[in-house]
Every structure is written in structure tokens, then in C-alpha cells.
């Protein structure tokens, strides 16, 4: 049923704003529209966005699991608390699955290498070594095998595969074996034992996958509840932030450093760590900020200047973090860094309503002409959704916003592929 809504505008004293919003949220019958986008310098909000991305990815993973025809799949119920538990359980299963898969690949590779030598116990080889005899494992082409090796080194052919000969030598300890052929590494296990390890690991992977399927049958509703509640918290936080002063004058680097736990304001960062130049010299915009951030005549800077400022500050704090220039990297690399939990600063447009980026030709003091894009703007990459075709930006001017991935990539390209990651 469609119910007619009334549009109301409230004028609220700023000290009572959050309490007012809490009261509205408790009513549960209102839809709050943001009139002014604010700053995204809220650490809790950032964490909730990352958690939301994890929940979304986990939900999609479980929904894509295949069930038996007679499986009973839960579609209702569930709790947010259980949803968060499931998130951790799935992460554990995925980590375990990755390790088991790596082990299986390793066993498969070793098994393939051992099949040419047949099933023998490496312990017997070690016993011979203890008795003063050295067993060497070699392979070469049929044409390179020399019959005299059988007399000189007690060579014995173990196997022939295609045109390749696999053979061993038996020599006394200390005797030099000079063969210009490929030497194989002594296997750690017998072929039979390796086969057992392979099968055991394969069974462990199957059990791991069954557990994931079981979670998909019982706990998808809990994930949906947890995601819904979290998205509500995110939207509420955005509204709270929208009441704060617009932060178009803040350095995005300040936002990232504060997100990492360093208490520093934009004034201190700019005055003490950002390299600035008053004149238009060689390296303008790239190695330093041209002009003054406190004046309207100041133009801006690119990734190297921001990375240098970040590293100067981080070094002064004896931090384990470092800033790295990721300029000219494909957007997929930026997404990879973000998925690993690394803050990514990216250059984009200040005004997404302007489809065409305009450029100014600036003549440097050495005569070089530098093309500077207008409306260049820094934001932090906060999330992405390939299926929906959107990216989430923590923008110092507009707050937490979603942008079309196509638009984002376009502006990223037009602003010279500039990006910085802190890890």
C-alpha cells in the first residue's frame, strides 16, 4: 500500500542535533534527506563501510553456493549478531581453503615429479648415505645418456618417459660425480605417502566446502539482517556528518592519517610537512604544492608531493606506515590495495556534474608548458561494487558518496592517473 508522505523541514540547535536524529530514528516512520554533504572524517563510519563491503561479499558468496535438491534452505529469521559470527566463520573457512589449496598444489607437483622414479622409501636412501654411499637422481635425453656412467658411477636406469631417461648413481661418499645433466632433488616422501597426503588434503577441502554450503543453507537471513542494520547505521552517520561544516578546504591526506590513528590537523600538516613553492618553477604541481593552501590563488599538487608530505610526517612519528605513489596504475590495482585494508588517495573531479575537464597551460619559469587540469580534487577510495558498477568515495567536500565506476575511471584518467596508497 502506498501511503502519502509529508515533507517537513526542522531547524535544530546544533548541540541537540544528534539527539534529535536519534529520536527520529526510534520513531522508524521517517526518511531523512541530506541537504548538505559533510566531511567523512568519522573513523567508525569508515570501519562500518568496510564491514558492509565484507558482509555484501560474504552474502554473495553464500548465495552462489549450490545445494542438493532436497536441501532445506532458510529464507527468514536470523539475527545481526549471528550474521557477524557467520562473517568471521566464512573468513576462517576461506583462509583455511586457501591454505589447503596451496598444499594440494604442492603435493600434486611433488607427486608428478616422483612418478618417474616409482614408489620407494626415501628413508632407505638416507640409510645408504649413513653407510657411506651416495645416491644421485638424474635425468637427461636418450641421446645424452652415456653407457660408461654405469661402470664409472654405477648408474642404473629407473625409467624412460618419451625420449627422457631417469637414472640413479651409486657412489661412495667423497667420490665426485661429474655429469652435465639435470639432477633431481631427493624427495621427502615416498610416492605412496605423498598420495596419502594428497588424498587427505583433498578430503579436507571437500569438508571445508561442505561447511560453507551448510552456512549458506542456514545463515543467509542473518547476514541480510546484519547488513540491513549496518547500512542503517551508515546512513545515520552520514546524516550526522552532513550537519558539520563542509570540509572542502581539508587536505585528504589529513583524513587518511587520522584514519590510521594519528591526530594531526590540516594546518600543522601543511605548514610542517607539505613542500610549497611561491613561484612557478620546474617540477610545479608534481614535487610540491604550487602557491599557498591558505590563498585562493594556490593551485594544488599531484601524487609525489602528497606522498612526500605523508612520509615526512610518518617518519617523524617513527611509524611503520609508508606512502607509495601508485600513479598510472590500473584501477584494479587500486581496488586490490583497498581490499587489503590500505587507504588509497585518488585524484578525481571536484564537480562530477562537469563532464568535460578543462585544462590550463601554465608556462614555468624555465619555459616548460605544463597542462594543469581544472577542478582537480583528492578523495579517498572507500569501497567498490563491480556488479553495481559503483565506487564509494570518502570525499572531504561531499562526504561518503557513491559514484559511477565508469565516471570514476574517466576522471581518474583525465587527471593523469594520480594515486597514493598508505600501507
**Segment 273-292, tens digit of pLDDT:** 777 776 555 555 666 676 65
Instruction: Tell me the DSSP string of 187-250.
Output: PSS-HHHHHHHHHHHHHHHHHHHHHHHHHHHHSHHHHHHHHHHHHHHHHHHHHHHHTSPP-TTS
Grid coordinates representing 374 are 581544472
Assess whether pLDDT exceeds 60 at residue 189.
Answer: yes
What is the predicted pLDDT for the residue at 243? 42
Least confident of 17-26, 27-36, 107-116, 281-290: 27-36
What is the predicted pLDDT for the residue at 123? 79
**Segment 57-71, tens digit of pLDDT:** 899 999 888 888 888
**Range 247-422 has CATH code 3.90.70.10:** yes
What is the predicted pLDDT for the residue at 205? 93
Assess whether pLDDT exceeds 50 at residue 40.
Answer: no
- Integer-rounded Cα radius of gyration of the chain: 32
Domain layout of the chain by residue ranges:
118-186, 247-422
**Segment 120-158, tens digit of pLDDT:** 878 788 888 888 998 889 999 999 999 999 999 999 999
Instruction: Tell me the DSSP string of 104-161.
Output: HHHHHHHHHHHHTT-S--HHHHHHHHHTTEEEEEEEEEGGG--THHHHHS--EEEEEE
Assess whether pLDDT exceeds 80 at residue 196.
Answer: yes
Amino acid at each position: 500500500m502506498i501511503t502519502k508522505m509529508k515533507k517537513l523541514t526542522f531547524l535544530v540547535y546544533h548541540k541537540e542535533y544528534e539527539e534529535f536524529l536519534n529520536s527520529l530514528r526510534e520513531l522508524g516512520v521517517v526518511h531523512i534527506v541530506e541537504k548538505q554533504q559533510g566531511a567523512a572524517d568519522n573513523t567508525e563510519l569508515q570501519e562500518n563501510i568496510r564491514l558492509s563491503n565484507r558482509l555484501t561479499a560474504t552474502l554473495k558468496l553464500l548465495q552462489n553456493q549450490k545445494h542438493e535438491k532436497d536441501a532445506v534452505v532458510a529464507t527468514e529469521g536470523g539475527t545481526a549478531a549471528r550474521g557477524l559470527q557467520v562473517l568471521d566463520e566464512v573468513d576462517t573457512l576461506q583462509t583455511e581453503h586457501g591454505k589447503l589449496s596451496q598444499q594440494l598444489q604442492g603435493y600434486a607437483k611433488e607427486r608428478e615429479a616422483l612418478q618417474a622414479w616409482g614408489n620407494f622409501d626415501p628413508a632407505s636412501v638416507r640409510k645408504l648415505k649413513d653407510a657411506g654411499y651416495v645416491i644421485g637422481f638424474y635425468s637427461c635425453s636418450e641421446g645424452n645418456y652415456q653407457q660408461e656412467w654405469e661402470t664409472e658411477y654405477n648408474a642404473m636406469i629407473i625409467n624412460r618417459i618419451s625420449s627422457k631417461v631417469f637414472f640413479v648413481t651409486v657412489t661412495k661418499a667423497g667420490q665426485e660425480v661429474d655429469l652435465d645433466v639435470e639432477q633431481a632433488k631427493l624427495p621427502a616422501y615416498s610416492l605412496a605417502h605423498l598420495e596419502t597426503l594428497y588424498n587427505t588434503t583433498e578430503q579436507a577441502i571437500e569438508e571445508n566446502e561442505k561447511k560453507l554450503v551448510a552456512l549458506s543453507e542456514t545463515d543467509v537471513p542473518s547476514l541480510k539482517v546484519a547488513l540491513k542494520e549496518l547500512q542503517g547505521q551508515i546512513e545515520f552517520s552520514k546524516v550526522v556528518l552532513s550537519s558539520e561544516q563542509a570540509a572542502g578546504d581539508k587536505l585528504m591526506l589529513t583524513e587518511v592519517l587520522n584514519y590510521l590513528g594519528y591526530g594531526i590537523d590540516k594546518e600543522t600538516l601543511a605548514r610542517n610537512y607539505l613542500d610549497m613553492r611561491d613561484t612557478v618553477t620546474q617540477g610545479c604541481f608534481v614535487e610540491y604544492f604550487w602557491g599557498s593552501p591558505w590563498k585562493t590563488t594556490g593551485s594544488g599538487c599531484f601524487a609525489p608531493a602528497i606522498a612526500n608530505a605523508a612520509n615526512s610526517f610518518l617518519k617523524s612519528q617513527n611509524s611503520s606506515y609508508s606512502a607509495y605513489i601508485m600513479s598510472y596504475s590500473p584501477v584494479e590495482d587500486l581496488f586490490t590495495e583497498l581490499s587489503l585494508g590500505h587507504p588509497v588517495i585518488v585524484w578525481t573531479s571536484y564537480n562530477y556534474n562537469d563532464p568535460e575537464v578543462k585544462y590550463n597551460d601554465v608556462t614555468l619559469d624555465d619555459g616548460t608548458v605544463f597542462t594543469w587540469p581544472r577542478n582537480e580534487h583528492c578523495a579517498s577510495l572507500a569501497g567498490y561494487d563491480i556488479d553495481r558498477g559503483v565506487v564509494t568515495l570518502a570525499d572531504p567536500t561531499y562526504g561518503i558518496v557513491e559514484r559511477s565506476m565508469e565516471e570514476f575511471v574517466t576522471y581518474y584518467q583525465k587527471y593523469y592517473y594520480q594515486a597514493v596508497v598508505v600501507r
